[in-house]
Amino acid sequence: MWHIHNEYGCHNAACYCDVSAAAFRTWLRRRHSDDLKALNHAWGTTFWSQWYYDWDEIIPPRATGADPNPAHELDWRRFCSDELLSLYTAERDVLREVPPAIPATTNFMVNFNIDALDYWRWAPELDIVSNDHYLRSTDPESEIDVALCGDLVRSMAGGPWLLMEHSTGAVNWQPVNRAKGAGEMRRNALAHVAHGADGIAFFQWRAAKAGAEQWHSAMLPHAGTDSQIWRDVVQLGADLKALAAVRGSTATAQVAMVWDWNARWALELPSQPSGELRFQELVRDWYRPLWQAGVAVDFVRPGDDLSSYRLVLAPSLYPVDDEGAKNLTAFAEHGGTLAVGFHSGAVDEHCHIRLGGYPGGLPGRPRRAHRRTLPPVVRRDAPPHRSGPPGCHRRPMVRARPARRRRTRRPLRQRAAEGHTGRHPEHPRRRNRLVCRHSPRPRDPLRTVGPNLRRGRRATSPCHPAARRRSRPTQWH
């Protein structure tokens, strides 16, 4: 098998030189059918007087004194991904001219920190889809990242794939490089197998004595064969040999989750309602409960065939084109269950806001009964939010039934302890609902008695408004 290049876009995802600027203009001509007026419309250049009168006026989104044009930035990200893809195909085609025919691949980087390439467009060009996966040292739930990335690579491959790189222990390129705990390397490797990997490989075979990655872990560490890492690698080899029967097997899922690199790029551009939103974190928040429940998940694009799924989740689909919006709407109209996260469908593929209310082109907009803003969820490990208390973030929740409206008033006993009287300060004849001597429990001073009253029974507390009509006057504190 040919391994072409290594980690396209890892250290050279973009170039802003004049040669790249000329290539960018050529790419834009193809994308916009050589129609400069169409490009001006797509980029909304009437705003801030950015109108282009000639193709040669267009340059990459270099440093600017103000916020960049989001449509310009998004097309630039697409261009960079496509240009690197053309480099891969050119190198691959040279090797295909040399007999015999040998499969070719290159290693993707479906990781927590890499978003340079649209791998949906790359996967069909690979004979075998491969991936490098490394963990974030500070991630307390790294096992979820292993599962999520494994499902995403399997979905792009359409079946088995190859894990070309991961580490036996610590890496050397993060601020703090944590060594893996006992059994963690074995767990991660077998988790990749469980999510479709037919091969498990490492970087690197022997730990380097010198060079930039001399402190990167390896199968054969500096200590040699008399080390725990070496014994764990040997044990993993025996485990994989015992699992040979599952090689080439596939699995089916009834739940699909929408993943789109265009949405990831656009959501994290400047000038958003919040600069703290991160696409992968939003997707992971929805993926976590499914993983914990043992529910298999496929990842799909907005325009993919969804007929085989019962549930489709779109946690963060900020831009969506008309074709993708129609496809998701048709899935819901034909009996499928579609859950859409906040800020999804707000703009089209050119970052133009869809007018008429949110979520724009996605189902749920015409009927206000289906629209609900999810409340903030406080996470103790989250950083402070600029518009709320520490740890306050809007986080998606999937509910089988509509959530009841929560009361925001303070508990009754707390209000009484703060000196509130039984009379309303502005309306003396109106009573406040405070705590009375008939309250059955401190946490439930006024027990709901609706079902009992409907059957003609006596209310639990005679101080309940519905019970005062048939009981003696109530003494209020």
We report the CATH number of the domain holding residue 269 as: 3.40.50.880
Phi, psi of 297 (to 5 degrees): -130, 130
Shared-domain flag, residues 13 and 115: yes
pLDDT at 419: 56
Tell me what the mean pLDDT of segment 282-308 comes to: 97
The pLDDT-based confidence of 5 (bands split at 50, 70, 90) is very high
Parent domain of 344: 255-394
Shared-domain flag, residues 294 and 215: no
The pLDDT-based confidence of 472 (bands split at 50, 70, 90) is very low
Q: Does pLDDT of 184 surpass 60? A: yes
pLDDT tens digits, one per residue of 419-428: 555 555 555 5
End-to-end CA distance of the chain: 83
Shared-domain flag, residues 271 and 235: no
pLDDT at 101: 87
pLDDT tens digits, one per residue of 92-129: 999 999 888 899 999 999 999 899 999 999 999 999 99
pLDDT tens digits, one per residue of 442-454: 444 334 434 443 4
Q: Judge whether 169 lies within some domain.
A: yes
Shared-domain flag, residues 141 and 12: yes
The pLDDT-based confidence of 142 (bands split at 50, 70, 90) is very high
* Residue of higher predicted confidence among 129 and 65: 129
Among candidate residues 394, 415, 439, the one where a domain is terminated: 394
Phi, psi of 430 (to 5 degrees): -100, 125
Tell me what the mean pLDDT of segment 157-175 comes to: 97
The pLDDT-based confidence of 278 (bands split at 50, 70, 90) is very high
Tell me what the mean pLDDT of segment 399-426 comes to: 50
Give the CATH number of the domain where residue 181 resides. Answer: 3.20.20.80
Distance CA 414, CA 127 (A): 67
Q: Does pLDDT of 437 surpass 50? A: no
Q: Judge whether 191 lies within some domain.
A: yes
pLDDT at 365: 52
Q: Does pLDDT of 342 surpass 70? A: yes
Q: Judge whether 412 lies within some domain.
A: no
Among candidate residues 394, 412, 441, the one where a domain is terminated: 394
Residue 1 to residues 95, 163, 249: CA-CA distances in angstroms? 11, 14, 21
pLDDT at 423: 52
pLDDT tens digits, one per residue of 69-90: 999 999 999 999 999 999 999 9
pLDDT at 129: 98
> Do 188 and 135 contact (CB within 8 A), yes or no?
yes
The pLDDT-based confidence of 390 (bands split at 50, 70, 90) is very low
Q: Judge whether 426 lies within some domain.
A: no
Shared-domain flag, residues 209 and 348: no
Q: Judge whether 453 lies within some domain.
A: no
Residue type, 202: F
The structural domain count of the chain equals 2
Q: Does pLDDT of 38 surpass 80? A: yes
So which residues are the catalytic ones?
A: 7, 165
Tell me what the mean pLDDT of segment 236-259 comes to: 96
Among candidate residues 223, 246, 269, the one where a domain is terminated: 246
Instruction: Convert 392-411 to b/e letters by CB count within 10 Å (16 or more is b).
Output: bbbbbeeeeeeeeeeeeeee
The pLDDT-based confidence of 230 (bands split at 50, 70, 90) is very high
